[in-house]
């Protein structure tokens, strides 16, 4: 029996409906509601859509008994990090509302929430789980604190040289140089209309690669805000004792050349040194987005959720 798909509006902002897709397990009931996995897509916070869920996430309601919530957020550079984190916090808060209970008919347990995401979405999960960066953006930290955090090949540190060193060409682009103004056009214009999603096959799908090529991520996310990129550096904040995290699981491909594996391993090392509960898997020979392949089931990730429910 297939999971029930609900399309919900979380809020309105900048004239947009910020939406989420909710996949309800067929076996969930009011008497036995399903834990919630709140997931954010990747794309450098520049592109992507809640519709970009990997096969294992689509299977998770039926296979693992999880209510999967895939949430959109406003995209940079038309929305800077403060607006994006506002959407993240509101997604967490929405799970506690009467609107969510009514939409799910009480079949989802908002007292058992895991926050997750892929790539930049994994970074959002780390920020949501720790509260890091919200005060710098003038926002309250997300409440309530989740049961656990799951980062799939996450970004975690804007100060890493990977984001601040131009690549002409980008290592994996086979010699191609992207001409941003002609190929991306208005997507580069911070004053263009704000978007809260983009199709995976839209011209905007080049934005991430152009960002790496020109080392633009810090400026695209923060220009004009006066906020330091270091305000969102997870490992450093853990090491200083500024933040803690609930139980955390991360997985990263060993040959990922779109987000360096050290973005995950540095966070894991800092958490281990502070005695915080963390698990990390480095998948040998696997690249970015490896979990989109149908054969990838991420059994360790779902076992982590089961242990901490």
Mean pLDDT score of the chain, rounded to an integer?
A: 98
Tell me the three state secondary structure of residue 168: coil
Side-by-side strand order, sheet with 34-40: 4-13, 16-24, 67-71, 34-40, 108-118, 148-152, 248-253, 278-283
Stretch 210-239: mean pLDDT: 98
Stretch 125-144: mean pLDDT: 98
Domains and CATH numbers, the chain: 4-161+219-308 (3.40.50.1820)
Tens of pLDDT, residue by residue over 183-195, are 999 999 999 999 9
Tens of pLDDT, residue by residue over 158-172, are 999 999 999 999 999
Tens of pLDDT, residue by residue over 250-283, are 999 999 999 999 999 999 999 999 999 999 999 9
According to the model, what pLDDT value does residue 140 have?
A: 98
According to the model, what pLDDT value does residue 193 have?
A: 97
pTM: 0.98
pLDDT band at residue 3, thresholds of 50, 70 and 90? Answer: confident
pLDDT band at residue 132, thresholds of 50, 70 and 90? Answer: very high
Among 205, 173, 176, 207, residue whose Cα is nearest residue 189:
207
According to the model, what pLDDT value does residue 301 have?
A: 98
Among 7, 23, 91, 33, residue whose Cα is nearest residue 62:
23
Tell me the three state secondary structure of residue 182: helix
What is the percentage of the chain residues whose pLDDT exceeds 90? 99
pLDDT band at residue 2, thresholds of 50, 70 and 90? Answer: confident
Question: Are 114 and 149 contacting, i.e. CB atoms less than 8 angstroms apart?
Answer: yes
Stretch 226-236: mean pLDDT: 98
Backbone angles phi, psi at 274, to 5 degrees: -95, 0
* Cα pseudo-dihedral 199, 220, 17, 55, rounded to 10: 40
According to the model, what pLDDT value does residue 56 have?
A: 98
pLDDT band at residue 84, thresholds of 50, 70 and 90? Answer: very high
């Amino acid at each position: 029996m297939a999971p029930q798909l609900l399309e919900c509006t979380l809020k309105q902002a900048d004239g947009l409906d910020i939406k989420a897709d909710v996949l309800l397990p067929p076996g969930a009931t009011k008497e036995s509601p399903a834990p919630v996995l709140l997931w954010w897509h990747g794309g450098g916070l520049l592109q992507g859509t809640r519709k970009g869920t990997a096969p294992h996430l689509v299977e998770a309601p039926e296979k693992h008994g999880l209510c999967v919530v895939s949430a959109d957020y406003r995209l940079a550079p038309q929305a800077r990090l403060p607006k994006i984190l506002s959407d993240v916090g509101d997604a967490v808060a929405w799970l506690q509302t009467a609107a969510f209970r009514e939409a799910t008919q009480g079949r989802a347990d908002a007292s058992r929430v895991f926050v997750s995401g892929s790539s930049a979405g994994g970074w959002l999960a780390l920020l949501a789980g720790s509260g890091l960066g919200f005060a710098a953006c003038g926002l309250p930290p997300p409440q309530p604190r989740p049961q656990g955090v799951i980062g799939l090949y996450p970004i975690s540190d804007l100060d890493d040289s990977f984001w601040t060193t131009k690549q002409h060409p980008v290592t994996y682009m086979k010699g191609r140089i992207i001409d941003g103004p002609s190929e991306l056009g208005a997507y580069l214009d911070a004053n263009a209309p704000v978007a809260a999603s983009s199709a995976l096959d839209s011209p905007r799908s080049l934005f991430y690669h152009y960002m790496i090529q020109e080392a633009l991520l810090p400026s695209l996310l923060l220009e004009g805000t006066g906020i330091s990129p270091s305000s969102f550096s997870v490992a450093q904040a853990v090491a200083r004792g500024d933040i803690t995290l609930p139980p955390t699981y991360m997985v990263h491909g060993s040959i990922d050349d779109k987000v360096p594996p050290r973005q995950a391993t540095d966070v894991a090392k800092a958490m281990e040194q502070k005695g915080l509960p963390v698990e990390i898997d480095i998948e040998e020979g696997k690249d970015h987005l490896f979990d989109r392949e149908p054969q990838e089931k991420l059994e360790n990730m779902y076992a982590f959720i089961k242990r901490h429910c």
